[in-house]
Structure 1
């Protein structure tokens, strides 16, 4: 017997599935990091530790909420996904500009490998998020799957997403 949730997931087009795989991967990385901290004995309880735990947890919870909004056909789901993808594009572009204009000297800091890797990562991820944003904006298949009432996100939600993404990226 198939659940209503899995039936709704099956109705969504392919790029949303790729986004779902990203969400699952991100949750797995976060859980593995917590497990390694716990196993190694470096898990300390205190105010600073709680804050250092909550920032990545919020960064993982945000794409989970975006995916949940898309799968649940929320009136805010498509708007939330568009804002999320757009903000990821902007943040990767800002990180790329920071790298390019940082005044990095490979002779002082031990080579160019990390510098080039950072540039390549931000270019590739920024381009992928931009393609996902274009898909969210122009897809007729997604519009058909998300039929129903649509609402725009309030500005306070967008501001909260900016803060969470900037801290947890």
Structure 2
């Protein structure tokens, strides 16, 4: 597999471990159903890139489309987060500047991943276009997980 695929996998493993370490450090179980549901959503969002890496490694016919969809949705979510200033979500503090910078960089990186999966010759060789399958129903759960975790 090409290097960017492994970089995507490292991102997924990092997300999973950061979720797990946060649960261990907090040392407490959720006390309400709402907290438990949010924790479950965060766990599923952390597992999503790891499962997409698994599809890539299995060379699933749906892998490239789902990873591209994930990268596009993440890029769009960070782009939309750039507009929090317009809606007065942040007070005018240094956090505002760092948030704009982080969301701007993440937006650019995710759109770079999307472009890579769409245009890469290595991906086209490993996943021939005629063998790829498309499905659009995963958009709904991916958007729901991203809304829970943003």
Q: Determine the C-alpha separation between the residues in 1 that align with 2:78 and 2:14.
A: 19
Name the residue aligned to 2:84: 98
TM-score, length-scaled by structure 1: 0.81
Q: Which runs of 4+ in 1 moved over 4 A?
A: none
Q: Determine the C-alpha separation between the residues in 1 that align with 2:19 and 2:69.
A: 23
Gaps of 5+ in 1: 1-11, 107-111
Q: Determine the C-alpha separation between the residues in 1 that align with 2:75 and 2:68.
A: 11
Name the residue aligned to 1:117: 98
- Bigger drift between 113-122 and 53-62 goes to 53-62
Q: CA deviation at 1:105?
A: 4.7
Q: Determine the C-alpha separation between the residues in 1 that align with 2:68 and 2:12.
A: 15
Matched, 1:63 2:63: no
Q: CA deviation at 1:135?
A: 0.4
Q: Determine the C-alpha separation between the residues in 2 that align with 1:93 and 1:149.
A: 32
Contact 2:56 2:64 in 1 (8 A): yes
Name the residue aligned to 2:133: 151
Gaps of 5+ in 2: none
Contact 2:45 2:146 in 1 (8 A): yes
Larger radius of gyration between Structure 1 and Structure 2: 1
Name the residue aligned to 1:72: 58
Q: Determine the C-alpha separation between the residues in 1 that align with 2:133 and 2:124.
A: 13
Q: CA deviation at 1:113?
A: 1.0
For 1:5-44, what aligned pairs fall within 5 Å after superposition? 12-38=1-27, 42-44=28-30
TM-score, length-scaled by structure 2: 0.91
Contact 2:12 2:48 in 1 (8 A): no
For the residue of structure 2 that corresponds to 1:75, the secondary structure is coil
Q: Determine the C-alpha separation between the residues in 1 that align with 2:63 and 2:149.
A: 21
Contact 1:83 1:158 in 2 (8 A): yes
Q: CA deviation at 1:52?
A: 2.5
